[in-house]
């Protein structure tokens, strides 16, 4: 097999190994591939690997040797899976590899908002504590999580893990999903989205990007949240209308937002959220812990092995 990896740097910036692939054939690894070089680099590929390099129908039809598309991600909208299905080319993704890591970043945001660690650490480093008349001081209100309510929109594996962690903090958990808006399960109370927004101190998004969810967090959505509430998005950037969120933050309509994803990545310099009040943004790192990326690598190599043995797995376009 001829295996070509178009954009391997994010998955493996040098601390992991591609050697496990070499048992299956020749391997070419490119850190990044601009659009104009995709066909040239991929023209001999039998297995083509991508993370965020788009593979549209026009590109794919120029690759006569292509037999499989392997994704270094869970999401698969980066490839034209319809074209691949029509031409008998399986597309395999990496499911459920980042659940714990993403859930941990949700609480990194929540704890930063409630305990203001970076604010106080910076103050100490600047000499404020050494000059203080008292043995302690606070620069912002500090909040316990015990008894607070977190609302989880989308209750798949990540949403359920966020719920489990929240319960360990003594939080109340409510949730809603496409398939369930009532009842209770394992201490999670299911309700309508409107009820969730009106009751939650934290709203955490864990829904897929679909026609229904694109732009879901708009002015109307935000108006239903408590003015003291925090929005967390570690799902997909386009779920949020960024202009509406920036306006809500600047007007004090909600208290803050923690975002690991934006509608366009890398974002444009003038993104309104960069200057919005109480908005924490990280550069899509929820999946990037080394252990998480190693798990992705292991599943990815298993996907390649399964294909080579004649039984493709994790296929998203059966």
Q: Which of 309, 307, 308 is nearest to 90 (CA)?
A: 307
User: Which residues lie closer than 8 Å to 4 by C-beta, 6 or more apart?
Assistant: 27, 28, 30, 41, 42, 44, 45, 47, 48, 49
For residue 38 the two structure tokens come to 């995709």
Candidates 40, 214, 265, 309; catalytic one: 265
Q: Which of 123, 188, 127, 190 is nearest to 161 (CA)?
A: 188
For residue 273 the two structure tokens come to 């959220």
User: Which residues lie closer than 8 Å to 261 by C-beta, 6 or more apart?
Assistant: 233, 234, 235, 236, 237, 284
Q: Using only C-alpha atoms, what is the Rg of the chain?
A: 22
Say whether 284 is catalytic.
Answer: yes
Q: How far apart are CA 161 and CA 277, in angstroms?
A: 29
Using an 8 Å Cβ cutoff, are 173 and 163 in contact? yes
Candidates 41, 67, 115, 284; catalytic one: 284
DSSP code for 184: E
Q: Which of 72, 64, 69 is nearest to 80 (CA)?
A: 69
Say whether 236 is catalytic.
Answer: yes
Q: How far apart are CA 68 and CA 91, in angstroms?
A: 6
Q: How far apart are CA 271 and CA 264, in angstroms?
A: 9
Using an 8 Å Cβ cutoff, are 234 and 182 in contact? no
State the pairing for strand pair 68-71/184-185.
unpaired
Candidates 120, 236, 293, 295; catalytic one: 236
Active site residue ranges: 236, 265, 284
């Amino acid at each position: 097999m001829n295996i070509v990896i178009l954009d391997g740097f994010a998955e493996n910036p040098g601390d992991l190994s591609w050697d496990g692939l070499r048992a299956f054939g020749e391997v070419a690894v490119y850190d990044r591939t601009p659009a104009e070089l995709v066909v040239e680099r991929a023209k001999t590929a039998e297995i083509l690997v991508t993370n965020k390099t788009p593979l549209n129908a026009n590109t794919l039809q120029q690759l006569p040797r292509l037999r499989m598309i392997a994704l270094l991600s869970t999401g698969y909208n980066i490839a034209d899976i319809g074209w691949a299905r029509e031409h008998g080319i399986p597309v395999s993704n990496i499911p459920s590899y980042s659940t714990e890591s993403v859930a941990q970043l949700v609480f990194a945001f929540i704890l930063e908002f409630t305990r203001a660690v970076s604010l106080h650490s910076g103050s100490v480093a600047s000499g404020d504590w050494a000059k203080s008349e008292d043995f302690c001081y606070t620069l912002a209100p500090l909040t316990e999580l015990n008894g607070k309510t977190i609302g989880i929109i989308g209750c798949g594996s990540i949403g359920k893990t966020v719920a489990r962690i929240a319960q360990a903090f003594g939080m109340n958990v409510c949730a809603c999903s496409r398939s369930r808006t009532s009842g209770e399960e394992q201490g999670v109370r299911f309700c309508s989205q409107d009820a969730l927004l009106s009751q939650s101190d934290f709203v955490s998004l864990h829904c897929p990007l679909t026609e229904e969810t694109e732009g879901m967090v708009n002015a109307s959505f935000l108006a239903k949240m408590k003015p003291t509430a925090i929005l967390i998005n570690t799902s997909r950037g386009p779920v949020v209308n960024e202009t509406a969120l920036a306006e809500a933050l600047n007007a004090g309509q909600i208290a803050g937002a923690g975002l690991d994803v934006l509608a366009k990545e890398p974002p444009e310099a003038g993104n309104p959220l960069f200057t919005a009040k109480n908005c924490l943004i990280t550069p899509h790192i929820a999946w990037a812990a080394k252990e998480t990326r190693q798990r992705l690598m292991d599943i990815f190599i298993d996907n390649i092995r399964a294909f080579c043995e004649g039984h493709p797995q994790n296929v998203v376009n059966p």
